[in-house]
Amino acid sequence: MNSKYIAGISLIIMAAGFLITLALPDYTWILILQGGFEAGLVGGFADWFAVTALFRHPMGIPIPHTSLLLKNKDRIVQSLVSALETELLNKESIEKKLRGWNLVERATSMATKAIQKKKVRAQLIDSVITFVEKLPLEKLSPMIQSGLASYVRKAELHEAVDKLATYLIKQGYDEKALDYVLQQVETWAGRLETKRMLGRLANEKMGEVKLGGLMGFAFQAFAGFMDEDKLGILLQNMIASSIRDLKEEDNEYRALIIREIRVQLFQLTSNEEKMERVKAWLLEHIEQERFEDMIKERMEDIRAMALKALVRERDNGGRLVLKGYRVLVNQVRANPEWIHELENKVSQAIVNVVENNHYRIGQLVKENVDQMDDEALVEMLEGKIGKDLQWIRVNGALCGFVIGLALSVLKMLL
């Protein structure tokens, strides 16, 4: 039952009891009850007046010092806002509370429990798939193109190329590049059509040679002995032999070629004019419309590969996701200082957000209260705190009744 009705019933009982005892004979026990009901009625009515005076004028009469909440609404709201800003939402209390919560550890524990469920992993992968599918590549492509052009335009290209050249040499990419070229040349030289082409070219050039005397006679004798097929085989074997020699790490000619590659690389980086030409060439090609289309095509290819891999991972139950998460968690747990640092950063970020915006909470409270009319505000307050206040009336009536009984007995005894 509503506490307000209980309080009203208690007051009605006291009033009815008092009226009934007035009509009864003046027996001792009736007089005692009459005193109890009289005191209970006075106590209940006094407490009704006190509780009602908090919210409105009792019986609609503007008695001084009544309807206290409405009269002091601005001061109450300001006190509430001040308490929010200075007591409840101050930096020290929030920071202390956050540190006690261990947000990072709790979040990690919750994530670990969730990621162990196959259904959760599948939902996570589905979310990533949806995100990748909806990526607006047509908008990202011009942004990437513009970013690349801006970077090239501002970049000190010779420094970047110098660092790149140094890195490539340290990693041995100059030797790998030479080996790749040698391998391609060897493959090309070993083809049948290459042999024919080399034999034909050699034969044509030998026919153009004009030598006299004994040397001319010897050369003509050699040329008459060799045909295109023999010349092709000879040149093929010479090229293959030379390439095999150049592949040997201790070959002096290989060392000379690699040294020349390195020299040319660093000469290129120190040549400002060439670097400017390279930069202009890069900008010219980057800013072309077809370059944007190329970026979009490559991104579409990457998206297709990513979606294919994600679907395969989802069908496999997200095993790689679970494995990767475990590796990450183990790595973090092996470095507790990371957790401590992350905890501090998270706490500090939350504290800064609250500290910079706690006044907005106060403003929101004040605006919402100001938008409410007096009747609505009173109804809201009565609904929140009035229930407990109504029991004051019940207690007042009961206490008054008991005290009235005691006083009536005391009066008769004296």
Q: Which residue has the higher pLDDT, 323 or 391?
A: 323
Give the pLDDT score at 276: 79
Q: Kindly state the average pLDDT of the residues 122-129.
A: 90
| Percentages (nearest 5) of helix, strand, coil residues in the chain | 90, 0, 10
Q: Secondary structure of 211-223 in the HEC alphabet?
A: CCHHHHHHHHHHH
User: How far is 329 from 401, CA to CA, in rounded Å?
Assistant: 69
User: How far is 295 from 147, CA to CA, in rounded Å?
Assistant: 12
Nearest to 279 by CA among 150, 153, 112, 136: 153
Evaluate whether 286 touches 149 at the Cβ level (below 8 Å). Answer: yes
Evaluate whether 366 touches 77 at the Cβ level (below 8 Å). Answer: yes
89 residue type, one letter:
L
Give the pLDDT score at 224: 58
Percent of the chain exceeding pLDDT 70 equals 64
Q: How far from chain centre, in Å, is Cα 193?
A: 60
Nearest to 232 by CA among 193, 206, 266: 193
The region of weakest confidence among 117-126, 158-167, 300-309 is 158-167
Give the pLDDT score at 131: 92
322 residue type, one letter:
L
Give the pLDDT score at 264: 82
Give the model confidence (pLDDT) of 26-40 as tens digits: 777 777 777 777 776
**Total-model pTM:** 0.46
User: How far is 35 from 40, CA to CA, in rounded Å?
Assistant: 8
Give the pLDDT score at 130: 92
Q: Secondary structure of 16-62 in the HEC alphabet?
A: HHHHHHHHCCCCHHHHHHHHHHHHHHHHHHHHHHHHHHHHCCHHHCC
Q: Which residue has the higher pLDDT, 305 or 230?
A: 305
Residues in contact with 7: Cβ distance below 8 Å, sequence separation at least 6, in sequence order:
44, 48, 390, 391, 393, 394, 397
- Long-range CB contacts (< 8 A, 24+ apart) of 357-364? 358/84, 358/85, 358/89, 359/85, 361/84, 361/89, 362/80, 362/81, 362/82, 362/84, 362/85, 363/81
Whole-number mean pLDDT of the chain? 75
User: How far is 393 from 54, CA to CA, in rounded Å?
Assistant: 13
Q: Which residue has the higher pLDDT, 124 or 40?
A: 124
Is the pLDDT at 288 greater than 50? The verdict is: yes
Is the pLDDT at 305 greater than 90? The verdict is: yes
Q: Which residue has the higher pLDDT, 403 or 284?
A: 284
Give the pLDDT score at 114: 84
Give the model confidence (pLDDT) of 130-145 as tens digits: 999 998 888 888 888 8
Place of tokens 């162990």: 116
Is the pLDDT at 330 greater than 70? The verdict is: yes
User: How far is 63 from 3, CA to CA, in rounded Å?
Assistant: 25
User: Which two tokens mark 189?
Assistant: 């030289």
Q: Kindly state the average pLDDT of the residues 327-335.
A: 80
Give the pLDDT score at 307: 92
Give the pLDDT score at 44: 65
User: How far is 158 from 162, CA to CA, in rounded Å?
Assistant: 6
Q: Mean pLDDT: which of 120-129, 332-341, 392-401 is highest?
A: 120-129
Give the pLDDT score at 7: 63
Task: Find the helix packing angle between 228-247 and 252-270, rounded to 10°.
Answer: 70
